[in-house]
Amino acid sequence: MSTLTAPADTAQTLALDVRDLTVHYGRRSRRKPVPPAVDGVSFAIAPGETIGLVGESGSGKSTIGKAVLGLQSATGGSISFFGDDITHAAPARRRALAAQLRVVFQDPYSSLNPAMTIGETLAEPLRLMGVGKAEAARRARTALERVGLPASAAERRPRQFSGGQRQRIAVARALVCDPKVVVCDEPVSALDLSTQAQVLNLLADLRDERGLSYLFVAHDLAVVRFLAQRVVVLYRGQVMETGAAAAVVEHPRHPYTRALTAAAPVPRPAEQAARRAAREAMGIGAAGLGTPSTAGCPFASRCPLATDVCRTERPALRRVGDSDVACHHATD
């Protein structure tokens, strides 16, 4: 089981509380067991807080987001939304939650209906909530202005906007219903650096103004460091390291976290070359190398510190410095 300590203020109701979450894809078989996509992950988000889920492709971070949104069934564990268990909520309950639990997808163009105007797209969830046509249109225009677009954008279609503008529209669509929690699934990975900064600043401003909680999914630790207060580092569905964002990014304890930090792109070529050299000096194997042990640490086949115990015994999260680390050799 992987756990992440909840915020210190336990008197308030948590916006999102995920406990021992497990997700399997496909049909499970005793003859050929398939490791879960998410394996006993726990974390909690307080109102107004941002948690960053970080990891390589296949780490399970997007699957966790889908489970929270009800787009993927949980095999085990629980998901609570402001104290209400929604792990296996019925479709009617999920529809009722749609206004309070929203999402910003990675590719806004594919999630925007090309046949609908932006105003119609933003007004659609409001109309499903029973909001009148005129009021829904007004709120759609207000949402566009709040994300830095003119109200007249409501009359245009997705193809008439740039990638950065479409991502702003996606943020407006997520916020038009005045939600409490927003799942951001790689919301800036397809954008250039300057546009990334604009969207991240927008998300931070809206969070501070509205007291929003974000579950921010990304593969870049530097991006998560900017927005999140706390970070969960995932590998093959398990938590490798957790803690305050500054502690995890600036003083990574797990070899996998160190590799992610060294791999994060920077705009200065000399620094990028130094990071690449440092990563190669770590001796960490390439992604997909070897077959992970089902009993031990999933990172053992790539880790330069791995010993026999790493391949046979799954490490529990333990406090090392200012972070919780799942590594037998985190102090080495």
Give the pLDDT of residue 163.
85
Asked if 98 contacts 28 with a C-beta cutoff of 8 angstroms, the reply is no
Task: Give domain limits for the chain.
Answer: 111-178
What own/partner pairs with CB < 8 Å and gap ≥ 24 does 281-284 have?
282/255, 282/258, 284/255, 284/256, 284/258, 284/259
pLDDT digits (tens), the chain, 332 positions = 444 444 444 446 899 999 999 999 877 656 666 789 999 999 999 999 999 999 998 899 999 999 999 999 999 999 999 999 999 999 989 988 988 999 998 877 787 889 999 999 999 999 988 899 999 999 999 999 989 899 999 999 999 998 889 989 999 999 999 999 999 998 888 777 788 888 899 999 999 999 999 999 998 888 888 899 999 999 999 999 999 999 999 899 999 998 888 777 666 777 767 767 766 666 676 665 556 667 899 998 888 888 999 999 999 999 998 999 999 998 87
Amino acid at 97: L
